[in-house]
């Protein structure tokens, strides 16, 4: 249970992944869970003038024009979100990542910081916020430190990914993340590798792994859901993938999966952020279907049509730090999961999932996973990950918070 003083705290957070993104967001999942008992103010990663100009004619950007350009009506509420969750959309910032480190860059950075800090001040003033916790969900480009008039009870930097191999972050982002880790009270990491990496920089780093809305995904097991229209013509077993289709994926392996299973259909659900599948001709293979991004509310409908799911990630510096959201989501849905052994955290699921170190093993595991699936195995999966819920992660968050508060009082 929360202490009385914990329950009275508000939460202000900023996230690299926006609240309306088609990509699932740890920050947003946690914000929704926090909002069941706290007022939460979720600050979207700001759009830059470059973003605005490149998307100005889109319907989405037109609806945001007033708030983005003039900072008017920056607060909004989504019917699907808890009542206490307020979305904050800061005004447009300046694109500066292309600039070399120097006077101009630092001046423009200070202006961008002022823009975002003004939105934080607006939250505090408009809603009468007194004591609050500030959480930065892996957005090192903003709120590296706090001005004197913005004083959170605790500031927490939540490491969700290792950005060291991402070109955009290599220019300024990695140094800015070091500033966050140094200036914030403590850090959290979603994977054991991230905890190890960031412990060399931050004052203290705690392990707080990803989770799932386990009850929501269990609807796949407990209810009969409508079959998505784009799967109605498929009458073969389905090998499914959900999530971003991007650089972390082993596309050579994905192609092998499709070619080795002509009697099955490979369905990929999620936004496409690369052209690797085109270079390898995966988009031309008859039994491969890309259905595009879907709202999280639709994902169980797709999962119920899958005979097994796959996580075909490369083993790399980046993926070594990944604890994917989808592993708990798919297991909560009772599905067999075949994955590469890309991280220590994924290997910890080797009793529930088929964790393979070679392409050959991965291909063999798909047929094994489908053929040996049973009601007993479905039950084992859902039961085993039932504690990996966002509710339990929030409880762990407050345990860590109290530990840090106790340490402060001792000092």
Structure token pair of residue 170: 């290599």
- Strands 238-242 and 154-159 turn out to be unpaired
> How confident is the model at residue 4, as a pLDDT?
45
**Order of all β-strands in the sheet with 40-44:** 75-76, 85-88, 40-44, 10-15, 132-137, 154-159, 186-189, 205-207
- Tell me what the pLDDT averaged over the chain comes to: 92
Instruction: For residue 313, list its beta bridge partners.
Output: 249
Indicate the range of 40-54, 155-169, 337-351 predicted with least confidence: 40-54
**Helix spans in 165-296 (H):** 167-168, 174-183, 192-198, 214-217, 219-222, 251-260, 276-279
Does residue 202 carry a pLDDT above 70? yes
pLDDT band of 66, cuts 50, 70, 90: low
Indicate the range of 56-60, 107-111, 255-259 predicted with least confidence: 56-60
* C-alpha span between 227 and 214 (Å, rounded): 21
Q: What is the pLDDT of residues 363-390, one digit of tens each?
A: 999 999 999 999 999 999 999 999 999 9
What mean pLDDT comes out for the span 77-102? 93
What mean pLDDT comes out for the span 226-250? 95
For a pLDDT cut of 90, what percent of the chain falls above it? 84
> How confident is the model at residue 127, as a pLDDT?
96
pLDDT band of 20, cuts 50, 70, 90: confident
Helices (H) and strands (E) in the chain, counts: 19, 14
What mean pLDDT comes out for the span 102-112? 96
* C-alpha span between 115 and 113 (Å, rounded): 5
> How confident is the model at residue 64, as a pLDDT?
67
Q: What is the pLDDT of residues 259-275, one digit of tens each?
A: 999 999 999 999 999 99
Query: Which domains are present in the chain?
Result: 4-211+389-410 (3.40.50.2000), 214-384 (3.40.50.2000)
pLDDT band of 165, cuts 50, 70, 90: confident
Q: What is the pLDDT of residues 29-62, one digit of tens each?
A: 999 999 999 999 999 999 888 887 776 545 666 6
Does residue 1 carry a pLDDT above 50? no
* C-alpha span between 365 and 381 (Å, rounded): 17
Does residue 70 carry a pLDDT above 90? no
pTM reported for the whole predicted model: 0.92
What is the rounded end-to-end Cα distance, in angstroms, of the chain? 25
- Strands 75-76 and 85-88 turn out to be antiparallel
Does residue 12 carry a pLDDT above 70? yes
> How confident is the model at residue 6, as a pLDDT?
66
- 391 contacts: CB under 8 Å, gap ≥ 6: 33
Q: What is the pLDDT of residues 138-152, one digit of tens each?
A: 999 999 999 999 999
Does residue 5 carry a pLDDT above 60? no
């Amino acid at each position: 249970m929360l202490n009385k003083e914990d329950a009275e705290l508000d939460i202000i957070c900023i996230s690299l992944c926006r609240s309306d993104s088609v990509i699932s967001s740890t920050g947003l999942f946690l914000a929704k869970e926090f909002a069941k008992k706290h007022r939460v103010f979720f600050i979207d990663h700001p759009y830059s003038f470059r973003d605005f100009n490149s998307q100005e004619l889109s319907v989405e950007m037109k609806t945001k024009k007033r708030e983005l350009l003039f900072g008017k009506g920056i607060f909004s509420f989504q019917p699907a979100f808890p009542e206490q969750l307020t979305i904050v959309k800061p005004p447009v910032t300046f694109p500066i990542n292309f600039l070399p480190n120097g006077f101009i860059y630092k001046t423009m950075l200070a202006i961008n910081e002022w823009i975002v800090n003004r939105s934080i001040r607006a939250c505090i003033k408009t809603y009468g916020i007194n004591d609050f916790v500030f959480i930065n969900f892996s957005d090192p480009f903003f709120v590296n430190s706090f001005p004197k008039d913005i004083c959170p009870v605790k500031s927490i930097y939540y490491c969700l990914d290792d950005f060291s191999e991402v070109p955009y972050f290599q220019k300024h982002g990695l140094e800015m993340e070091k500033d966050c880790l140094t200036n914030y009270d403590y850090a959290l990491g979603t994977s054991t590798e991230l905890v190890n990496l960031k412990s060399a920089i931050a004052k203290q780093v705690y392990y707080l792994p990803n989770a799932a809305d386990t009850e929501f995904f269990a609807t796949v097991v407990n209810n009969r859901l409508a079959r998505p229209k784009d799967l109605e013509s498929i009458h073969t077993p389905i090998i499914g993938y959900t999530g971003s289709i991007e650089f972390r994926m082993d596309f050579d392996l994905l192609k092998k999966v499709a070619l080795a299973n002509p009697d099955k259909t490979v369905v990929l659900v999620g936004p496409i952020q690369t052209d690797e599948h085109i270079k390898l001709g995966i988009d031309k293979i008859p039994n491969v279907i890309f259905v595009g991004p879907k709202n999280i509310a639709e994902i169980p409908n797709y999962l119920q049509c899958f005979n097994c799911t796959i996580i075909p990630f490369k083993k790399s510096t980046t993926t070594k730090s990944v604890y994917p959201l989808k592993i708990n989501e798919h297991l909560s849905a009772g599905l067999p999961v075949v994955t590469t052994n890309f991280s220590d955290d994924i290997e910890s699921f080797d009793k529930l999932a088929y964790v393979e170190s070679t392409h050959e093993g991965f291909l063999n595991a798909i047929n094994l996973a489908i053929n040996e699936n049973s009601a007993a195995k479905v039950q084992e999966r859902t039961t085993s990950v039932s504690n990996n819920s966002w509710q339990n992660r929030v409880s762990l968050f407050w345990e860590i918070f109290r530990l840090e508060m106790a340490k402060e009082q001792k000092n």
